Structure 1
């Protein structure tokens, strides 16, 4: 993953809500959908990367989408200028590592 100026994340309960959030996020701003993490309890986090303003716009749009559906928004955050060591964590949740490659 290229190094970005910011990371944006939303965590909600359930696939439908996280898909709505992710869709709103990538439509609202010029961000890369990096990946997701699904816990056994049903909480799912989605991660985007880009410049700080884009990540903030994306997260704001994702939060609004979940709230508009009356979903359970657990948390959201934008991390500006992430420390390079954070990529050791986020690399594990990249879409290309989580999903099988289709030829």
Structure 2
């Protein structure tokens, strides 16, 4: 089954936490990456079937914008990323995310 990667970057931690929570609750996706970006920004990445990532991203973006002071800085979906992208960037399933893989 083709997988996709979805990435959201927000200003402030509460909005990225709300987005991550909404994404994993709204679709069969796995959170594979979280980190601080810059200037109070945070980023997350999810993996899953293309249709599931599309649904999760829509919900995550909606919820992140609803958080008081929440602001989505960037977001993107990569359907069917090639292996060289997955191997180089921190978006692959890993030992931390594997127990939650759906």
Structure number with higher strand proportion: 2
How far apart are 1:39 and its partner, in Å? 2.2
Q: TM-score, normalised by structure 1?
A: 0.80
| Structure 2 residue matching 1:90: 3-state secondary structure | coil
Q: Size of the alignment, in residue pairs?
A: 95
1:7 matched to 2:2? The reply is: no
Q: What's the Cα RMSD here?
A: 2.4
Match of 1:74?
Answer: 73
Q: 1:78 to 1:19 in 2, by over 3 A?
A: same
Equivalent residues of 2:18, 2:63 under 8 A apart: yes
Gaps of 5+ in 1: 98-103
| TM-score, structure 2 as length reference | 0.81
